[in-house]
Amino acid sequence: MDLPWGDERTKQFVTNVGLITSNGSYGQNIMACEWTHLISYSPGLIAIAVGKNKTTNSNIRETKEFGISLASTDQSVIASISGGSTGKEVDKIGVLKELGFKFYKAKKIKALMVKDAVLNLECSLIKTLNIGSHTLFIGKAIEASANPNKKPLVYHNLQYWELNKSIEKPPQKKRDKISRLVERYRK
């Protein structure tokens, strides 16, 4: 079966927004990618799912590298612009610079990175999987820096959100009861 874009079931996921930067025949480019996931600690591996016809897809296949800047709550406009047109037709980085957003040169790859993101990762491509509607690119982190003063932009139900309330743990008595129950069910 399909789980199409915008479908009530597809919209239940909650994700970060990865700002994927690349630099190939189409020049410096940026796209928004909600399907950006850490999939291994050691080594640090990240999977991104990128539509087959995207400029980012061609750039990554060509250069075997890409940048990921995880958007912060001040960067929803970057996400919208990066996700709203294709690098084949629009110099999105030029638009964003003109709007006052800052980029810096990556240390280990040829792409630009977004300043003031919550996390910046420079990745070297280790695997390309042609699956379904998208291509899964798996990148190995070769440079990483976090910005603890920023909060991650959240994407859910086709809208941007910010986290502001963590769920409290149940009271100690209830947690003790749960621990005893887990012990009883230990195999």
Ligand X SMILES: Cc1cc2nc3c(=O)[nH]c(=O)nc-3n(C[C@H](O)[C@H](O)[C@H](O)COP(=O)(O)O)c2cc1C
Q: Which residues bind ligand X (CB under 6 A)?
A: 17, 29, 31-35, 49-51, 54-56, 79-80, 82-83, 85-87, 134, 155
Cβ neighbours of 93 (radius 10 Å): 22
Specify the residue, 31 or 123, whose C-beta has the smaller distance to ligand X: 31
Specify the residue, 26 or 147, whose C-beta has the smaller distance to ligand X: 26
Shortest spacing between CB 32 and ligand X, in angstroms: 4
Shortest spacing between CB 68 and ligand X, in angstroms: 12
Shortest spacing between CB 123 and ligand X, in angstroms: 15
Specify the residue, 44 or 51, whose C-beta has the smaller distance to ligand X: 51
CA distances for 172 relative to 168, 176, 186, angstroms: 11, 6, 21
Specify the residue, 89 or 168, whose C-beta has the smaller distance to ligand X: 89
Shortest spacing between CB 79 and ligand X, in angstroms: 5
Which residue has the closest beta carbon to ligand X? 83
Specify the residue, 34 or 65, whose C-beta has the smaller distance to ligand X: 34
Shortest spacing between CB 36 and ligand X, in angstroms: 7
Q: Which of 73, 27, 30 is nearest to 48 (CA)?
A: 30
